[in-house]
Amino acid sequence: ELFSGEALEAPASALVRETIQNSLDARSGAEPVRVRFTLPSEPAVRGFDSPWLAGLRPHLLAERNGLARRPTEQQAFSTLLIEDYGTCGLPGDVAQTNNTAEEYRGHRNHFFHFWRAIGSSGKDASERGSWGLGKTVLPASSCINAFFGVSCEDAGAPAKLMGMALLRHHNLPGDERGQEPFTPYGRFGCRLLPQGAAMPTENTTEVVEFCHAFGVTRAGQPGLSLVVLLPL
């Protein structure tokens, strides 16, 4: 499955197919699912000095981080926005960090399988995308392997904001922590404990500011908005 012709096709075709498949599986009612792809001409975020990217920037400049070309100060900043409507977003217990504990058996958690599970999607074999390939095309479609997601499960409910960057194990210049290198999966979110899992940001003000900065038009409607940074 991972090395089939479909998985190795042109990145743009894989991105469109996989994201639409995931949206169709997340359909929440009788109305048709709508998916919109947008390339904003003038994103409000002008570069890597944005507060939304400040924590990521040092990792993008690190040696041996796996990027073919590290971004420069002069590089123009661009985004790709993918939004679906008529779907359930990413519902589920945000505190779940594994799928082996007995308390999680038999419970489908879209949030966990999108942001934390590796190599699985939680779907049945008869459903589209049961191998979890859909989420791998998002970092693969970014020059810096990074993307954000805003999920709204119910009309008017608080939206959840998360982000992810996928790099190789690496160290930061001048890092004197004396610890192991940073692991490949970096996540944008809130940490309740220093070594705990990143939790989604649900602060309404922060989510609204993010949506304004990146042109997200969710506006309380259920569904999922994805922001791919520096699309290929």
Give the CA distances from residue 216 to residues 76, 182, 190, in Å, rounded to whole numbers and listed in that order.
Answer: 20, 30, 21
Q: How far, in Å, CA of 154 to CA of 87, rounded?
A: 9
Question: CB neighbours of 229 closer than 8 A, spacing ≥ 6?
Answer: 53, 79, 142, 143, 144, 146, 147, 148
Query: What pLDDT score does 1 carry?
Result: 43
Six-digit token string for 44: 């409000």
| Angle, vertex CA 111, rays to CA 18 and CA 47, nearest 5 | 70
Six-digit token string for 70: 């590290």
Query: What pLDDT score does 196 carry?
Result: 82
Six-digit token string for 82: 């993918």
Nearest Cα to Cα of residue 214 among 39, 56, 88, 96: 39
Query: What pLDDT score does 6 carry?
Result: 54
| Residue indicated by tokens 């949030």 | 111
List per-residue pLDDT tens for the chain, 232 residues long.
445 555 556 778 888 988 999 999 999 988 899 999 998 877 667 677 788 888 898 899 888 899 988 887 677 788 999 999 999 999 999 988 887 877 777 678 899 989 988 765 555 555 555 445 667 889 989 999 999 999 999 887 889 999 999 999 998 877 665 677 888 999 999 988 777 889 999 999 999 999 988 989 887 889 999 999 999 8
Six-digit token string for 102: 């007995």
Query: What pLDDT score does 130 carry?
Result: 44
